[in-house]
């Protein structure tokens, strides 16, 4: 269970760039000025949230299947891979 995959919603920000939310972890939010930065920030944010959950003995939520996520017109789904051994 070292490698985890969670879907993230990348929303186009009005001022440019993206803001990212995780349907399975609502408190996990981040942003980035471009796609590369946004993806890296999403990996970092997911790692921080899951590390905090692990530290507080909160079970990780089961990741939603990508094809079952509702996506708004201004967003798209990206699956974020996290290696817990690297966090």
Fold of 3-86: Double Stranded RNA Binding Domain (3.30.160)
Burial class of residue 36 (count of CB atoms within 10 Å of its CB; 0-12, 13-18, 19+): exposed
Question: Bridge-partner residues for 51, per DSSP?
Answer: none
CA distance 79 to 29: 15
Query: What residue ranges do the domains of the chain occupy?
Result: 3-86
Helix, strand or coil, per DSSP, at residue 55: helix
Residue 85: the pLDDT is: 72
Span 24-78, pLDDT tens digits? 999 999 999 999 999 999 999 999 999 999 999 999 999 999 999 999 899 999 9
CA distance 44 to 1: 18
């Amino acid at each position: 269970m070292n490698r985890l995959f969670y879907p993230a919603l990348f929303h186009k920000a009005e001022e440019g760039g993206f803001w990212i939310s995780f349907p399975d972890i609502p408190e996990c939010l981040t942003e980035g000025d471009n796609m590369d930065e946004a993806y890296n920030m999403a990996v970092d944010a997911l790692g921080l949230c899951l590390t905090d959950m692990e530290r507080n003995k909160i079970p990780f939520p089961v990741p939603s299947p990508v094809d079952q996520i509702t996506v708004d017109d201004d967003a798209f789904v990206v699956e974020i891979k996290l290696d817990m051994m690297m966090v």
